[in-house]
Amino acid sequence: MRMNWARFAFFCSLGSLGLGGCDGRPLGGDEDGGGFPDGGGPACVSAKDCPQVGAPCQVCADGTTACPVVECLQGQCKTTPAKVCPAPSCKVDAECPIPATCQMCPDGSCLPYFAKCVGGKCQVTTGMCPVTQCKVDKDCPPPPPVCQTCADGTQSCAQAKCTAGKCGTVFAPACPPPKPPQCKSDKECPQPGAPCEKCWDGTVACPRAYCENGVCKADFPTCPPPPPMCKQDADCPKSPCQKCWDGTQACPKTWCDMGQCHTVFPVCPPPMPGCKQDGDCLNGPCQKCWDGSLACPKSWCQNGHCQSVYPPCPPKPPMCMIDADCGKPPGGVPCKVCVDGTTICPKYTCANGQCQLGFAACPAVPCGKINCPENQVCCNKSCSVCTPQGGACDPRDCGGRIAVGGGCVRSTMDKCASDLDCKIAGCGGDICHNPKVSNGVSPCDCGAAKFGCGCVAGHCTWYK
């Protein structure tokens, strides 16, 4: 690569205008490399070994000349200008000549020169070339992972973009134009064809279509939950058991959940296959007993059906004959305190030759015609009312109760021994009944009765 001496001479000619370029720094190379590539020219011992520059000298405004010189410095040929032409004198900006050329930038643009009179000397300057950050999009750093949601639900995410040599951020792909609105009012939306649901309180829950922000939407309301029928499992009515073909019973399970009673009815086992003789019946699997022996069922044919029975396992040898044979209970089992202050501690009892750990019953607490259940106290002897220890008590005399009924005040008149037998039931709390006798189901057409529910003259009824 050779030095462009014409370019050197051109810029030195501008030095007479104060532009610089011949101020002691070599043109076209590094600060210590002169006009030779890679920071130095050919190796040399003296200046005679270096090729001479063929560029002409510059005639300055004061009549002197400035010629480029090739020297041998530290064994390398280097080119330096001999001197710098002084800037022309001036009084105003108009006296300073402006170069007719412009400075070319890497991006292809051309910056013009400007001449100004500063301190009586002409100075020629130009602007800064724009900094080129990139050529293609890949030259730009990736933007943060930010996306925007378009009106149609698609995503438009930030991406790096190189525009005119500068890095920027754009969102791509561009969001599509929003779709025209589906509706302006509820009447323009097609109504769902589902029927209305009649609720327990007489209201109806009907599906509907409506217009929201130009989009048709549908709403399917549900009925409000009925008022609570129960607080605990004991408040729910019990259904009778079903006797199965094999002599067993299928008893329903009832429980209270979220104020509502629920019942599951189990099914009886399927009947055994038909038969004509005992050999048609298959024996089931044997049961392993405590002593390692097997208790295997015996099957036979009876009235065209296979019957089966499991023999019992042999009884375990007795561990005890009397309570004293069981010894004392292990430590760490706490005693219990009854409502009357009596302390009952656990002890072993001998039952059927086996030691069993348990608690004796607390002393009975008489309350009128009944004894209160364990852990309850008597709060109204005349009415035989027991409550949990520390619970609320109704101190009024039962003798002045008057039974009421009719309309939405419904009583089953079930037999009872005390107020403990009578409970409030029904969808709206409108039935007074004995859950041990009746189920307390109502048609859900009434609210709660504003009377007391108790045992009056041996029957569960509302009273005042």
Domain ranges of the chain: 5-126, 233-264, 278-309, 323-358, 401-463
Q: How confident is the model at residue 271 (pLDDT cuts 50, 70, 90)?
A: low
The answer on pLDDT for 208 being more than 80 is: yes
Backbone angles phi, psi at 236, to 5 degrees: -90, 140
Listed in sequence order, the residues at least 6 apart from 430 whose beta carbon sits closer than 8 Å to its beta carbon are 408, 409, 410, 442, 446, 447, 448, 449
The answer on pLDDT for 85 being more than 70 is: no
Token pair 């029927």 in the structure block, residue: 195
Q: What pLDDT digit, counting tens, does each position of 331-372 carry?
A: 767 888 887 888 888 888 888 888 888 888 888 888 877 888
Q: What pLDDT digit, counting tens, does each position of 116-174 carry?
A: 888 888 887 877 776 667 888 888 888 877 788 777 778 888 888 888 878 888 888 88
As a whole number of Å, the CA-based R_g of the chain is: 55
Token pair 């438009």 in the structure block, residue: 156
Average pLDDT over residues 444-451: 82
| Calpha distance 35→3 (Å, rounded) | 5
Listed in sequence order, the residues at least 6 apart from 461 whose beta carbon sits closer than 8 Å to its beta carbon are 403, 404, 405, 411, 413, 422, 432, 453, 454
Mean of per-residue pLDDT scores for the chain:
76
| pLDDT at res. 400 | 67
Structure tokens at 217: 């939407």
Average pLDDT over residues 433-439: 89
Query: pTM, whole model, 2 decimals?
Result: 0.23
Q: What pLDDT digit, counting tens, does each position of 66-76 carry?
A: 777 778 888 88
Write the DSSP symbol of residue 403: E
Average pLDDT over residues 376-398: 68
If one counts every other C-beta atom within 10 angstroms of the C-beta of residue 421, the result is 21
Average pLDDT over residues 197-207: 85
Question: Percent of the chain beyond pLDDT 70?
Answer: 79
Listed in sequence order, the residues at least 6 apart from 92 whose beta carbon sits closer than 8 Å to its beta carbon are 117
Listed in sequence order, the residues at least 6 apart from 101 whose beta carbon sits closer than 8 Å to its beta carbon are 113
Q: What pLDDT digit, counting tens, does each position of 227-261 carry?
A: 777 888 888 888 888 887 666 788 888 888 877 78
| Calpha distance 411→419 (Å, rounded) | 14
Q: Which of 80, 68, 72, 66 is nearest to 24 (CA)?
A: 80
5-33 in b/e form (b: 16+ CB < 10 A) is beebbebbbbbbbbbbbbeeebbbbeeeb
